[in-house]
Amino acid sequence: MKRRGIVQKLGFAAMASCMAANILFLGAILFFIASKGLSSISWEFITQAPRDAMTAGGVAPAIVGTFYLTLGAILFALPLGVACAVYLTEYSPKGWIVNVLRISVNNLAGVPSVVFGLFGLTVFVKYMGFGVSILSGSLTLGILALPVIISASQEALMAVPQSIREASLALGATQWETIRKVVLPAALPGILTGVILSVGRVAGETAPILFTAAAFYLKGYPDSVFSEVMALPYHIYALMTEGTHPEEQTRIAYASSLLLLGLVLSVSMLAIWLRQRQRKAYHA
Amino acid sequence: MHDTLVDYDKQMGLENFHPSLVKGPVGVNINSLGEADVFGLEPKIISRGVNFYYGSKRALNNINISFAPRRVTAIIGPSGCGKSTFIRLLNRMHELVPGTRLEGEILLDGLDIISPACDAADLRKRVGMVFQKPNPFPKTIFENIAYGLEVNGVTDRQVIEATVVDSLKKAALWGEVKDRLKDSALGLSGGQQQRLCIARALAVSPEVILFDEPCASLDPISTGKIEELILQLKKDYTIIIVTHNMQQAARVSDRTAFFLMGDLIEEGRTDNIFKAPRDRRTEDYITGRFG
């Protein structure tokens, strides 16, 4: 009894220290970025365009660009991904074809993001003629987000109890009505989790927009979906690899990183808030 | 148990049946055509020569049975005897399970409900179902009841509201929930949830209600309420109830069918089945020798 008690305590201690290590890494990253970037963040930094060869001014166009690209990617990937997930879990005949499709979707998640970038360049920028633009970048990022959204939606749909599907069908609802009015609403919190995850991923990606959307420096703001844009991750990358004032640029890069983190975090908070509200409505 | 059976006819109101309506020797009631003289009434549902397979495994063998309108028929039998499988054929819920096969004929008011020409959604509107575990939608109490109306094309808000109130009253739940219609149905107790599911089924005005072990997960008090409700409802609906609980079958049903290993062993007036079963296996089961 005593021995088992000790083993249990050791086990919990080991798990607690793993958790602590996690928090430590997260905290260290946040602290590191904040300590280097916080001093450069000001109202001007958030609302102005860069000046003096990237050594002064703000990053407002990059914030706006990242916002557009992320929004575009989610607008494209969410309906497509949810539709795929609904087909895979609700409609498709069970069997090896579905398994192959599922494996393919999971493999899509493992494709390196720079490959998505090249794909976007070939297909959206060149073949479809969208040029280097918000549209091309959003579509490329959308494809990147698809597997995350599909898997999360599938999980969420499969977690909806079969009994409430039966309840709906037994009332004379068709399968489509059952999915639209019962299954999807019940799965929504889980689907939103997928959206949260993919927003984080999409907003922070550099490689997919490198050839499809991003510009190093633009004077104004984009005026259509066919405009090139600045974007925070690419801006950070460019600041650290190009230009002639490394010290000033590094300072701005850290401040931009902090902003990017803040942006992703606030979008996630919004999604979490939406999810909680949904959960409250659906669970006692 | 025996006291229950002595008073059974009075409780069930069976003494009101005109004796001439009961044709043939009481308890022996399935004629060669499978058209039972169910209290001399035109059967609401007739099952003729029904065989049912899960893959290659045969789950039901040649089931011939008729169900009287506005009466309660209980289906009893040990686990795995095919009783739940059978009632799920009556609203074609078996179609949700892939790889099944159905042979034979099931008629609802003479209409062949198995034929592809019969729309499953239309059928299920006429033949409602209450499941083993309460399965309210994760929606409000009001939305739970209104759902069936909405999917059946009712858009008039006043009609919907009136039907919700009416259904909750019929299901003896109105008094307990009238102030919390906008609350989640998942906040109700198990017994209340099951009555909500009954109200939900009633809202689409079915003709038949199938109860698949409706009290399996409920405490005795909730069970008592559901049974009372079933006795109320049989005035207007044809009721078929699958139950594990023989006392329950004796309390609520007018007729009882005993299933064993995919066969219908015996069907007849509930009092006869419990007092004087014809088949040895029925007797063994109701006296608790197996099952």
Number of domains in chain A: 2
Number of domains in chain B: 1
Determine, yes or no, domain membership for B119: yes
Q: Check whether residue A82 and residue A24 sit in a common domain.
A: no
Contact A181 B148 (CB under 8 A): no
Please report how many Cα atoms fall inside a 13 Å half-sphere around the Cα of residue A186, on the Cβ side: 25
The domain that holds A276 is classified in CATH as 1.10.3720.10
Encode pLDDT of B43-76 as tens digits: 899 999 999 999 889 999 999 999 999 999 999 9
Q: Check whether residue A134 and residue A99 sit in a common domain.
A: yes
Determine, yes or no, domain membership for B224: yes
pLDDT value of position A282: 57
Domain span at residue B213 reads 2-286
The domain that holds B277 is classified in CATH as 3.40.50.300
Domain span at residue A11 reads 2-40
- What's the rounded Cα separation, in Å, for the pair B28 and B31? 8
Q: If you count them, how many residues does chain A have?
A: 284
Contact B137 A171 (CB under 8 A): no
Determine, yes or no, domain membership for B143: yes
Q: Check whether residue A35 and residue A51 sit in a common domain.
A: no
- What's the rounded Cα separation, in Å, for the pair A117 and A209? 6
Please say whether the dihedral angle defined by the alpha carbons of residues A157, A162, A167 and A173, taken in this order, is positive or negative. positive
Chain A interface includes B151 (CB < 8 A) = yes
Q: Which segment of A50-64, A74-88, A122-136 scores lowest on mean pLDDT?
A: A50-64
Alpha-carbon torsion angle B214, B217, B220, B224, nearest 10:
-20
DSSP state at residue A50: E
Select from B91, B131, B151 the Cβ nearest to the Cβ of A173: B151
Is the pLDDT at A111 greater than 60, yes or no?
Answer: yes
What pTM value is reported for the model? 0.80
Give, in order, the Cα–Cα distances in Å from B155 to each of A171, B60, B202: 16, 41, 18
Determine, yes or no, domain membership for B291: no
B20 residue type, one letter? S
Is the pLDDT at B4 greater than 80, yes or no?
Answer: no
Select from B124, B136, B184 the Cβ nearest to the Cβ of A171: B124
- Quick one: closest CA in B to A181, which residue? B147
Please say whether the dihedral angle defined by the alpha carbons of residues A273, A274, A278 and A279, taken in this order, is positive or negative. negative
Encode pLDDT of B254-280 as tens digits: 999 999 999 999 999 999 999 989 999
Is the pLDDT at A1 greater than 80, yes or no?
Answer: no
Q: Which residues contact B35 (CB under 8 A, 6 or more apart)?
A: B43, B46, B66
Percent of chain B exceeding pLDDT 90 equals 70
Q: Check whether residue A185 and residue A259 sit in a common domain.
A: yes
Which tops the pLDDT comparison, B196 or A266? B196
Is the pLDDT at A51 greater than 80, yes or no?
Answer: no
Encode pLDDT of B113-126 as tens digits: 999 899 999 999 99
H-only helix segments in chain B: 2-6, 8-12, 83-90, 120-126, 141-151, 157-170, 174-177, 190-203, 220-233, 246-252, 270-275, 280-286
List of chain B residues whose C-beta atoms are within 8 Å of the C-beta of residue A279? none
Encode pLDDT of A235-274 as tens digits: 899 888 887 778 888 888 999 999 998 888 887 788 788 7
Encode pLDDT of A52-70 as tens digits: 766 677 788 888 899 999 9
- What's the rounded Cα separation, in Å, for the pair B138 and A230? 44
pLDDT value of position B34: 40
Q: Check whether residue A52 and residue A36 sit in a common domain.
A: no
pLDDT value of position B37: 53
Q: Check whether residue A20 and residue A153 sit in a common domain.
A: no
How many CB atoms within 10 Å of residue B265?
A: 18
Q: Check whether residue A165 and residue A261 sit in a common domain.
A: yes
